């Protein structure tokens, strides 16, 4: 289906053969199943190139006990626990309500076993969804709760299983909570990943000093927001070294709250950028970031966003046509 967009065509990017009207992607868990952002009067999903739906499992889940969200000085900790109605209801009741002419929609697949990842991906393959993102940061119940994404071998096994289940573009969402994210990206690429999203949240904690108890009901949760941006930038740069010769795109994410932030991720190697925590305090931020990117294209006499991707210069002050390659 063709996306109907009135945005400046210089913002459009090719992502795994899909045309994104803008490099901005609304991140999983931040806009529900694609409808929450549009509840604000006059808003639509057209300012985003794609929307990642809430994490979906095979069976319905109630999620974790409260509190599930905690604000910190540099961002937000969340431990929602994958609350969702299950894949069958998402496909049957939710997908038909989405306007696929506004933007691209990406399913987010989560699971507690490789078999669950495979089955959820298989069911989304027979749906109008544009692409599938697999969240490999989930705990593997068969391996004592070790997160799939923190082990190279298990990461590759999940990707390979999901690859067998779909022909749609497969995006692997990588965790920063591991020793060598580049090695993990390389293994997932060999297993069949078409693209990467980086990074997922870092694990964090907040404490109520009066009660001397964790604020989050799950004791710990995923830290997002500006505090993790420098880490995310480095991880994207490291993954780009693996991807650049293979034409594998990256959705860079982690603390993006301005056009400058977004441009840093693009320069580091991202083809698109994910907006998440910033939406909670500034729903208008998409328009501001899109305009900021256009202003940058004008200032540097660039024809489109793709010319920014991977343009990081490591050899001193960058000239208009530096031409150097990241290393």
pLDDT digit string, tens, across residues 71-110: 999 999 999 999 999 999 999 999 999 999 999 999 999 9
What is the residue-averaged pLDDT of the chain?
93
Q: Is a pLDDT exceeding 90 seen at residue 43?
A: no
In a domain, 60, yes or no: yes
Q: Is a pLDDT exceeding 70 seen at residue 323?
A: no
More confident residue, 37 or 250: 250
Q: Is a pLDDT exceeding 70 seen at residue 179?
A: yes
Of the pLDDT bands very low, low, confident and very high (cuts 50, 70, 90), residue 45 is confident
More confident residue, 323 or 40: 40
In a domain, 320, yes or no: no
Give pLDDT, residue 284: 85
Residues spanned by the domain of 151:
9-307
Give pLDDT, residue 320: 52
Q: What is the dihedral of CA 16, 187, 203, 147, to 10 degrees?
A: 110
Mean pLDDT along residues 300-311: 97
In a domain, 161, yes or no: yes
In a domain, 327, yes or no: no
- DSSP letter string over 40-92? STT--STTSSEEEEEEE-SS-B--PPSP-EEEETTEEEE-----B--HHHIII
- On whether the CB atoms of residues 261 and 275 are closer than 8 A, the answer is no
Q: Is a pLDDT exceeding 60 seen at residue 113?
A: yes
Of the pLDDT bands very low, low, confident and very high (cuts 50, 70, 90), residue 41 is low
* Preceding omega of 199 cis (within 30 degrees of 0): yes
Mean pLDDT along residues 305-320: 82
Give pLDDT, residue 326: 46
CB atoms within 10 A of CB 284: 11
In a domain, 266, yes or no: yes
Give pLDDT, residue 42: 61
Give pLDDT, residue 327: 41
In a domain, 56, yes or no: yes
In a domain, 295, yes or no: yes
Give pLDDT, residue 215: 97
Of the pLDDT bands very low, low, confident and very high (cuts 50, 70, 90), residue 316 is low
Q: Is a pLDDT exceeding 50 seen at residue 254?
A: yes
Which CATH number goes with the domain that contains 69? 3.20.20.70
Of the pLDDT bands very low, low, confident and very high (cuts 50, 70, 90), residue 314 is confident
- Total domains present in the chain: 1
Percentage of the chain beyond pLDDT 90 is 84
Mean pLDDT along residues 317-327: 52
In a domain, 162, yes or no: yes
136-156 pLDDT per residue, tens? 998 877 777 778 999 999 999
Place of tokens 């490291």: 238
Q: Which residues are catalytic?
A: 138
Query: What are 52's strand-pairing partners?
Result: 106
Report in angstroms the alpha-carbon separations of 53 from 33, 37, 96, 132, 308.
5, 12, 13, 10, 27
């Amino acid at each position: 289906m063709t996306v109907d967009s009135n945005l400046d065509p210089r913002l459009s990017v090719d992502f795994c053969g899909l045309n994104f009207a803008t490099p901005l992607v609304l991140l999983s868990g931040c806009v529900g199943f694609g409808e929450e952002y549009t509840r604000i009067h006059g808003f639509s999903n057209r300012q985003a190139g794609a929307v990642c739906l809430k994490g979906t499992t095979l069976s319905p889940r109630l999620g974790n006990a409260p509190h599930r969200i905690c604000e910190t000085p540099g961002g937000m900790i969340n431990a929602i626990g994958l609350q969702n109605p299950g894949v069958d209801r998402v496909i049957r009741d939710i997908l038909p309500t989405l306007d696929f002419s506004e933007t691209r929609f990406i399913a987010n697949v989560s699971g507690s076993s490789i078999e669950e990842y495979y089955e959820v991906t298989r069911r989304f393959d027979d749906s109008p969804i544009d692409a599938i993102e697999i969240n490999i940061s989930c705990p593997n119940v068969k391996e004592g709760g070790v997160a799939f994404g923190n082990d190279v071998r298990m990461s590759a096994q999940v990707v390979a299983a999901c690859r067998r289940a779909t022909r749609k573009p497969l995006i692997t969402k990588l965790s920063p909570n591991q020793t060598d994210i580049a090695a993990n990206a390389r293994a997932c690429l060999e297993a069949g990943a078409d693209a990467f999203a980086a990074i997922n949240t870092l694990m964090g904690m907040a404490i109520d000093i009066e009660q001397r108890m964790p604020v989050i009901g799950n004791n710990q949760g995923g830290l997002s927001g500006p505090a993790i941006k420098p880490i995310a930038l480095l991880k994207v740069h490291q993954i780009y070294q693996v991807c650049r010769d293979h034409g594998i795109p990256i959705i860079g994410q982690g603390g993006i709250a301005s056009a400058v932030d977004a441009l840093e991720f693009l320069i580091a190697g991202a083809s698109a950028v994910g907006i998440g925590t910033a939406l909670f305090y500034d729903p208008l931020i998409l328009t501001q970031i899109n305009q900021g990117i256009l202003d940058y294209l004008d200032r540097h006499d660039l024809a489109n966003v793709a010319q920014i991707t991977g343009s990081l210069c490591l050899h001193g002050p960058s000239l208009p046509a530096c031409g150097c390659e990241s290393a």
